[in-house]
Chain A
Amino acid sequence: MEKTMDLTLKVWRQKSANSMGAFETYGVKDVSEGSSFLEMLDTLSEDLVEKGKEPVAFDHDCREGICGSCSMTINGIPHGPEKATTACQLHMRHFHDGQTITIEPWRAKPFPVIKDLVVDRSPFDRIIQSGGFITSRAGSAVDANAIPISKVTADYAMDAAACIGCGACVAACPNASAMLFTGAKVSHMNSLPQGKAEKDRRTLAMVTAMDGEGFGGCTNIGECEAACPKSISLDMIAHLNRDYATAQVKNFFNPVT
C-alpha cells in the first residue's frame, strides 16, 4: 500500500496584478507520496472547484522538468527543497504527514504577480530579444561536422544551454538579480564559434537590457546556483563578467555597434 499524507497549505492568493494578495490556509487529505507537487495542487484545486471556490492559478506545462513554466517558492526555496529539481518533478515523498507547506510566487519587482502563483516573466524574453540569438542564414540545418567544435567547448555550451529560463535564480536572489539567467545565455552563445561574431555586441546589449528591466546586481552569494533546477553554475556569471569587461574595454577604443 502506498503511503498517503495530510497536509496544511499556506498559499498566496491574489485575484489580479492590481489587487492586494494574502495567504490562505487550506487542508489537503490523502496525498499520495508518489504524486508530484503539482498533482497535489491539482487535487487542492479540484476540492476548491467542488466547493464553488476559485482554484489556485499556477504556471505549468510539460510537467517533466524541461519547459521552465512551473514557478513557485515552496517553504522559502524556489522549486522546493530538492536540489536540481523543478516543482513539477518534486515528489511528495520529500514531505511528511501533518506538515505545513508555504507556497509563494516568485518575488521580484520585474516579475509582477498576474494571479495567485503566476508571475509575468516577459522581462526574460526581452533580454533574449536584445541579443540571445545569432544573425546567420537560416536555411536547412548544416552538417554536424561543418564547423568543428571541441568536446570541451561543446560540453560547456551545453551546460549553459541547460537553462530553462524559469526564473528561480531571480526568485532565490535577495537582490532579484538575473545574472545567472543572463550569464547562462551569454556563456552559451559566446563560447560557440557561431556566436563569436556578435560576442561583444550581444554581451553589452543583454546586460543593458537586464539592468533596464530593473533586476538587481549580483552580490556573489550563490543562492541562485543552489536554487537552479538545472544546476547552472556561478561560472556562467564569472563568464558574463569577464565578457562584459572585455567588451567594454574594446568598446572604449573601437565602439561596438
Chain B
Amino acid sequence: MYTLCNFIHSTIGRKILMALTGLVLVLFVMGHMLGNLQIFLGPDVINAYAYKLHHLLPVTALWAVRLVLLGTIAVHIWAAVTLTLDNRKARPQGYLEDKVVQASYSSRTMRMSGIILLAFIIFHIAHFTVRAVPAGMKGGEGGVLKITEVPLVKDGEAVLKNGHEEMTFNVNDMMVLGFKNGWVSAFYIIATGLLCMHLTHGFSSMFQSVGLRNGLWRKRLDRAALAYGWVVFIGFAIIPVAVMAGLLKQDPTGGLVSQVGETAAIIESLEK
C-alpha cells in the first residue's frame, strides 16, 4: 500500500531527507572549518593537513567521499526545490496585508540564502579545488590560481621518503593568494554570513523534521543553532580577514624556515 516512493514524495518524507542531508552538511562544515583554521598554526601544518587529506585514502575513496558530498547537496536541493514548488502551488494568492508574528528572518529566507550558498559552493570549488577562476592578482599574474608544490615539512624539517623529499601542495600560499583579492574575500565573508543565517534556522529545524524536538528542546536547539551559526561564520571569515589584514603571509618554502622566525614575523606585523 505505502511504498518507499510514497515516502519520498510525501511532504514529510522530503523534509526528513532534507534534515538528514542537512545533518551531513552541518557536520562537514564544522570539519572543513577546523581544517581551515590550521592555517594559523603555520604553513607546514596546513600543508601537511592537505597531504593527509590527499593520501589518507586511495584516490578512488577520495572521489567516493567527494561524490557522496555532492550527492548529499543534490538531494538537499532537490527536496528544497520540489517542496518550494508544491508550497507555491498551495498558496497561489497571498494577503493584502501580510504580517509576520513570530517566524525568524532566517527561517523565512532559507531559499534565498540557499540559492546564494549554491552559487558560492560552485565558485568555491572552481576557485580552490578546480582552480579555474582568474586570480586577478596585482603584479601581472592575470591567470588562474596556480598551486605550487613544496616539501612536506614535519617539525621544521623536510620529510624524506626513499631519500627524496616528499612533496605536497602549498595550500598556505594558495589560500593567501586567493584571499588577497578584495572582491573574492568579500564574497567569501558574505557567503559565510549567509551560511550562518542558513544554519541558525537549519540546525534546529532538522531536529523538528525528524520529530526529535519539543517545546523545551526547541529553545535549547534554537540557542545552539545560533551559537553554531556564529562559530562557523567567525571560523571561516577570520581567514580572509586575516589575509586582508596581512596577518597571514605567503611562504614559498612551505614552512621550512624555523618556527621561531615565523612567529616573530606574525608578532611583528601584529605590533604594526
Q: What residue of chain A has the Cβ atom nearest to residue B106's Cβ?
A: A221
Asked whether B211 lies within 8 Å of A243 as measured between CB atoms, the reply is yes
Asked whether A176 lies within 8 Å of B91 as measured between CB atoms, the reply is yes
What 0/1 pattern do residues 98 to 141 of B give for CB contact below 8 A with A? 11111110011010000000000000000000000000000000
Contacts known (A222-B103, A233-B215, A240-B12); A76 close to B98, Cβ less than 8 A: yes
A242 CB contact (under 8 Å) in B15, B91, B201, B211: B211
Q: What residue of chain A has the Cβ atom nearest to residue B93's Cβ?
A: A107
Which residues of chain A have C-beta atoms less than 8 A from B101's C-beta?
A: 77, 172, 223, 226-227
Name, among B15, B103, B214, the residue most crowded by chain A CB atoms within 10 Å (CB to CB): B103
Contacts known (A175-B90, A216-B87); A241 close to B214, Cβ less than 8 A: no
Asked whether A108 lies within 8 Å of B210 as measured between CB atoms, the reply is no
Is A225 interfacial (CB-CB < 8 Å)?
A: yes
Asked whether A244 lies within 8 Å of B12 as measured between CB atoms, the reply is yes
- Interface size of B by Cβ–Cβ distance < 8 Å? 47
B209 CB contact (under 8 Å) in A109, A241, A257: A241
Asked whether A217 lies within 8 Å of B2 as measured between CB atoms, the reply is no
Q: What residue of chain A has the Cβ atom nearest to residue B16's Cβ?
A: A245
Which residues of chain A have C-beta atoms less than 8 A from B211's C-beta?
A: 238-245
What 0/1 pattern do residues 198 to 213 of B give for CB contact below 8 A with A? 0001000100111111
* Minimum Cβ distance to chain B for residue A214 (Å): 6
B99 CB contact (under 8 Å) in A10, A77, A208, A218: A77
Q: In residues 218-234 of chain B, which contact A (Cβ within 8 Å)? A: 218
Which residues of chain A have C-beta atoms less than 8 A from B108's C-beta?
A: 174, 221
Is A255 interfacial (CB-CB < 8 Å)?
A: yes
Bound complex: CA A211 to CA B13 (Å): 11
Is A116 interfacial (CB-CB < 8 Å)?
A: no
Is B184 interfacial (CB-CB < 8 Å)?
A: no
Residues of B participating in the A interface, judged by any CB pair closer than 8 Å? 1-2, 4, 6-7, 9-16, 83, 86-104, 107-108, 110, 201, 205, 208-215, 218
A109-B91, A175-B86 known, 7 other contacts, Cβ within 8 Å? A109-B90, A110-B90, A173-B91, A204-B2, A234-B215, A241-B211, A244-B12
